[in-house]
Structure 1
């Protein structure tokens, strides 16, 4: 059982009801329902995460690889599970998803491996001049800000999910770290 209740539409102001639902899955998700206990925070987070998706400077594939790597690093089953579905939807193969799940970036191309190593360095607090120079050789400053924000934000979201002890939605079961 989650440590905070799952808010429903009757628990939040009318202008926040839609924020409890995933626009991709067209249904309420526990992550949003738990944060819905503070509708203003939910609204701010949804706006921030929406901006990360659209304004980060990454392709959908790159964004999802970063999110999967961060979820795998934190061993966050809920976030991993949600983003396996999204990753598949943007064309990432189960083989690549499984490789990210085990921290093996060798099967990805060199640019993607560098991207994930940088994202993980952000989460671990290990970005140094060499790490920054490697990512700067691939991306401009605007995208580096986007990558760093995605890695940090999804790391923080994973911490919230863990603190709340969120369960997967009742009609799903965990894909596993290797979803093949």
Structure 2
């Protein structure tokens, strides 16, 4: 594949939004085969969840063997879920080079700030699923929304949880010819 795309958007998680130790994906880069079938696990997610009982955002990568790697969790960075994430407008920038030896750059910045809340910079990361057919018709699509596990319904709100999204930008970054 070896193409690079950039994604920008803003989002705000409701002040009462509940997460559990299971996944609540808010953003996904999802591989799709040439037959239109999604690959079971997303390549990359921004996920709300709890680690060691502390709520936060997790950036996760899944390789072609379905091995999950936590690239970061905001609780490990001392970022407070209740005051720095919930109820705050955050702006996200993602640059992904889709390749079997791809790269991922991500920053999440409070709206109006120039200092990111957190960044991710991964090189030589698997961001392409060639599949057994190696088809050039395979692709990766971004997904936004609330995609969550219902394995702990008691830990979720009885009513609806809300996340607001705004100002989406998607563009392919063209290679500069030498």
TM-score (norm 2): 0.23
Query: Which structure is higher in RCO with an 8 Å CA cutoff and minimum separation 6?
Result: 2
- Structure 1 or 2: larger strand share? 2
TM-score (norm 1): 0.23
- Structure 1 or 2: larger helix share? 1
